[in-house]
Chains A and B, each alone.
Chain A
Amino acid sequence: MTSQGFLDTHLLSILIFAPLAAAAVSAVLRSEQAQRIWALVATTALAALSIGLWCRFDASTHAFQFVENYSWIPSLKINYAVGLDGISVLLVLLTTLITPLCVLASWTYIKKRVKEFMIALLVMEAAMVGVFSALDTVLFFTFWEAMLIPMSLMIGVWGGPRRIYASLKFFIYTMAGSIFLLVSIIAIRLQTGSFGIQEAMGHPFSHGFQLWIFAAFFLSFAIKVPMFPFHTWLPAAHVEAPTAGSVILASVLLKMGTYGFLRFCLPMAPYATQVLAPYIIWASVIAVIYGGFTALAQGDMKKLVAYSSVAHMGFAVMGIFSLNQQGLEGATLVMINHGITTGALFIMVGILYERLHTRELDKLAGLGAKIPVFTGFFGVFCLSSLAFPGTNSFVGEFLVLAGGFKASPWAVVCVVPGVIAAAAYMYRVLQKFAYGSAENPEHHEVADLSLREIITLAPLLFGVFWVGLHPQPLLNVMKVSLAHVLEQAQRHL
Chain B
Amino acid sequence: MSPVLLATLVLLVPLASATVIALFLRRQGALASTVSVVAAALIATISGYLIFGGHRFTGSMEWLTLGTFSLRLGIKFDDLAALMLFVVSFVGFFIHVFSLGYMHDDKARARFFGGLSVFMFSMLGIVLADNLFMIFIFWELVGFSSYLLINHYHERQSAADASKKAFIVNRVGDFGFLIGIVWCYWANGTVDLSVLAEKSTVGALVFSTGIPLALFCGALGKSAQMPLHVWLPDAMEGPTPVSALIHAATMVAAGIYMLCRIQVLMVPDALTVIMWTGTVTALYAALCAITQRDIKKVLAYSTLSQLGYMVAAFGLGALSVGHATHKGVIAGALTAGAAAAMFHLATHAFFKALLFLGSGSVIHGCHHEQDIFKMGGLKGRMPLTFATFTIGVLAIIGMPYLAGLFSKDAILYLAYNNNSAVFAILATTAVLTSFYMVRMWKITFLGEARSHESEHAHESGISMTLPLVVLAVLSIVGGYGLVFRHLGGSLTDAIPVAHGSDHTVIFAVSLAVMLVGAGSAWFFYKPSADDRLEKGAPGLFTLLASKLWIDEAYLWYVAKVQQRFALVMNFLEQIFIAGLIVRGAAGLVGLVGIGARALHTGRAPAYAYWFLIGLVVLGAYALKVF
Name 4 extra pairs, CB < 8 A, besides A419-B175, A420-B175, A437-B155.
Answer: A232-B573, A325-B69, A427-B167, A483-B67
30 pairs, CB–CB < 8 Å, chain A vs chain B: A229-B581, A232-B578, A236-B578, A293-B566, A294-B566, A294-B570, A296-B562, A297-B563, A325-B66, A383-B144, A388-B140, A389-B136, A389-B140, A405-B182, A405-B186, A406-B186, A412-B179, A413-B179, A416-B172, A416-B175, A419-B175, A424-B562, A427-B164, A431-B163, A435-B154, A472-B65, A475-B64, A475-B66, A479-B67, A483-B67
Say if the beta carbon of A208 comes within 8 Å of chain B.
no
User: Digit string of B96-133 for contact with A (CB within 8 Å is 1, else 0)?
Assistant: 00000000000000000000000000000000000000
Q: Which of B167-208 contact A (CB under 8 A)?
A: 167-168, 171-172, 175, 178-179, 182-183, 185-186
Report if A420-B168 is in contact (Cβ < 8 Å); known contacts: A294-B569, A296-B566, A437-B155. Answer: yes
Tell me if B151 is interfacial: C-beta within 8 Å of chain A. yes
Residues from chain A with Cβ under 8 Å of B508 in the complex: none
B69 and A402 contact, CB distance less than 8 A: yes
Q: Determine whether A401 belongs to the interface, using a CB cutoff of 8 Å to chain B.
A: yes
Pairwise interchain contact A389-B569, C-beta atoms closer than 8 A: no
Query: Is residue B607 within 8 Å, beta carbon to beta carbon, of the partner chain?
Result: no
Q: Which of B141, B164, B179 contacts A389 (CB 8 A)?
A: B141
Cβ-defined contact, B64 with A420, below 8 A = no
Is B480 an interface residue, CB under 8 A from the partner? no
Among the listed B66, B144, B155, B172, which residue makes an inter-chain contact with A326, where contact means beta carbons less than 8 Å apart? B66
**B42 → chain A, closest Cβ, in Å?**
23
Q: Tell me, in angstroms, the Cα distance from A471 to B64 when the chains sit together.
A: 7
List, in ascending order, chain B residues with CB within 8 A of A298's CB: 570
Interface centre among B178, B567, B577, by most chain A C-beta atoms within 10 angstroms, is: B178
**Nearest B-chain residue to A419, judged by Cβ:** B175
A-B pairs, 8 with minimum CB distance: A389-B137, A297-B570, A297-B566, A296-B566, A435-B154, A423-B171, A293-B569, A405-B182
A431 to B155, CA, bound (A): 11
- Judge if B565 is at the interface, Cβ distance under 8 Å: yes
Complex Cα distance A406/B144, Å? 29
- CB-based contact A229/B65 at 8 Å: no
Q: How large is the interface on B (under 10, 10 to 19, 20 to 34, 35 or more residues)?
A: 35 or more
B582 within 8 A of A: yes
B179 touches A232 (CB 8 A): no
CB-defined contacts of B66 to chain A, threshold 8 Å: 325-326, 329, 399, 475, 479
Decide yes or no whether B85 CB sits under 8 A from chain A: no
Which chain A residues border B171 with CB–CB below 8 Å?
A: 419-420, 423
CA A389 – CA B565 in complex, angstroms? Answer: 28
A229: chain B residues within 8 A (beta carbon) = 577, 581
CB interface residues, B 567-626, toward A, < 8 Å:
567, 569-570, 573, 577-578, 581-582
B573 x A294 contact (CB < 8 A): yes
Contact B582 A232 (CB under 8 A): yes
Q: Does A217 contact B (CB under 8 A)?
A: no
Contact partner, B178, options A169, A236, A398, A424, Cβ 8 Å: A398
Residues of B within 8 A of A483 (CB): 67
A413 neighbours in B (Cβ, 8 Å): 179
Q: Which residues of A contact B65 (CB under 8 A)?
A: 472, 475
Closest to B570 in A: A297
Contacts of B144 in A (CB 8 A): 383, 388
Is B160 in contact with chain A by the CB < 8 A criterion?
Answer: yes
Give min CB distance, B201 to chain A, whole Å: 26
Which residues of B line the A interface, CB within 8 A? 26, 63-67, 69, 136-138, 140-141, 144, 151, 154-155, 157, 160, 163-164, 167-168, 171-172, 175, 178-179, 182-183, 185-186, 562-563, 565-567, 569-570, 573, 577-578, 581-582
Is the C-beta of A195 less than 8 angstroms from some C-beta in chain B? Answer: no
- Is A395 on the interface with B (CB-CB < 8 A)? yes
A465-490 contacts to B, CB under 8 A, are 471-472, 475, 479, 483
> In the complex the two chains form, what is the Cα distance from A402 to B155 in whole Å?
40
The proximity string for A residues 353-380 relative to B, scoring 1 for CB distances below 8 Å and 0 otherwise, is 0000000000000000000100000000
Closest to A474 in B: B64
Q: Give the shortest distance, in Å, between A452 (CB) and chain B (any CB).
A: 22
Say whether B182 contacts A412, CB under 8 Å: yes
The answer to whether B67 and A325 touch across the interface, beta carbons within 8 angstroms, is: yes
Cβ of A409 under 8 Å from chain B: yes
Q: Is the Cβ of B64 less than 8 Å from the Cβ of A395?
A: yes
**A326 CB contacts on chain B under 8 angstroms:** 66, 69
Interface residues of A in 274-330 (CB under 8 A from B): 290, 293-294, 296-298, 325-326, 329
B151 touches A435 (CB 8 A): yes
Cα A389 to Cα B567 with chains together (Å): 30
Task: Please tell me if the beta carbons of B160 and A435 are within 8 angstroms of each other in the complex.
Answer: yes
Instruction: Please tell me if the beta carbons of A405 and B569 are within 8 angstroms of each other in the complex.
Output: no
**Residue in B64, B570, B582 whose Cβ sees the most chain A Cβ within 10 Å:** B64
Q: Does A402 lie within 8 Å of B182, measured CB to CB?
A: yes
Q: Is the CB of B64 within 8 A of A472?
A: yes
**0/1 interface trace, chain A 420-443, chain B, CB 8 Å (1 if under):** 110110011001000101000000
Inter-chain contact B570/A402, CB cutoff 8 Å: no
Check if B182 sits within 8 Å of A232, measured CB to CB.
no
Interface: A390 (CB within 8 A): yes
A399 CA to B133 CA in the complex, in Å? 12
- Nearest B residue to A387 by beta-carbon distance? B140
**Which residues of A lie under 8 Å from residue B154 when comparing CB positions?**
435, 437
Give the distance in Å from the alpha carbon of A402 to the alpha carbon of B185 in the complex.
9
Determine if B164 and A431 form an interchain contact, defined as CB atoms under 8 angstroms apart.
Answer: yes
Q: Kindly report which residue of chain B lies nearest to residue A236, judged by CB atoms.
A: B578
Chain A residue numbers with a CB within 8 Å of B163 are 431
Residues on B with C-beta less than 8 A from A435 are 151, 154-155, 160
Alpha-carbon distance A372/B22, docked complex (angstroms): 11
Q: Which residues of A from 393 to 417 have beta carbons under 8 Å from B?
A: 394-395, 398-399, 401-402, 405-406, 409, 412-413, 416
B182 partner residues in chain A, CB cutoff 8 A: 401-402, 405, 412
A293 CB contacts on chain B under 8 angstroms = 565-566, 569
Nearest B residue to A294 via CB reads B569
Closest Cβ of chain A: how far from B551's Cβ, in Å? Answer: 18
> Is B178 touching A390 in the complex (CB atoms < 8 A)?
no
Among A38-76, those with CB < 8 Å from B are none
Inter-subunit contact A232/B577 (CB<8 Å) = yes
B-contact 0/1 string along A169-192, CB 8 Å cutoff: 100000000000000000000000
Identify the interface centre among B66, B154, B163, B171: most chain A CB within 10 Å of its CB. B66
- Which residues of B lie under 8 Å from residue A398 when comparing CB positions? 178
Chain A residue at smallest Cβ distance from B167: A427
- A419-B172 Cα distance, complex, nearest whole Å: 9
| Contact call B570/A401, Cβ cutoff below 8 A | no
- The CA-CA distance from A431 to B150 in the complex, in Å, is 13
Closest to A372 in B: B26
Determine the distance from Cα of A325 to Cα of B64 in the docked complex, in whole angstroms: 13
Distance (whole angstroms) from the CB of B288 to the closest CB of chain A: 26
**From A229, which residue of chain B is reached at the shortest CB distance?**
B577
- Specify which chain B residues have a CB less than 8 angstroms from the CB of A372 in the assembled complex: 26
Smallest CB–CB gap between A406 and chain B, Å?
A: 6
Contacts A325-B66, A389-B136, A471-B64: A420 and B172 contacting too (C-beta < 8 A)?
A: yes
Chain A nearest CB: distance from B172 CB in Å?
Answer: 6
Q: How far is it, in angstroms, between the C-alpha of A401 and the C-alpha of B63 when the chains are bound?
A: 18
Q: What residues of A have a CB within 8 angstroms of the CB of B167 in the complex?
A: 423, 427
User: Shortest beta-carbon distance, B407 to chain A, in Å?
Assistant: 33
Q: How distant is the Cα of A251 from the Cα of B385 in the complex, in angstroms? A: 59
Q: Which residue of A lies closest to B139 (CB)?
A: A389
- B563: A residues at CB distance < 8 A: 296-297
B141, B175, B567: the one within 8 Å of A297 (CB): B567
A405 touches B179 (CB 8 A): yes
What is the CA–CA distance of A229 and B579 in the complex, to the nearest angstrom? 12
**Residues in B whose Cβ lies below 8 Å from that of A325:** 66-67, 69
How far is it, in angstroms, between the C-alpha of A47 and the C-alpha of B374 when the chains are bound? 67
Complex Cα distance A234/B55, Å?
58
Q: How far is the CB of A476 from chain B (nearest CB, A)?
A: 9
Contacting residues, chain B, for A399 (C-beta < 8 A): 66
In the assembled complex, the Cα of A17 lies from the Cα of B38 at a distance in Å of 58
Minimal Cβ-Cβ distance residue in B for A228: B577
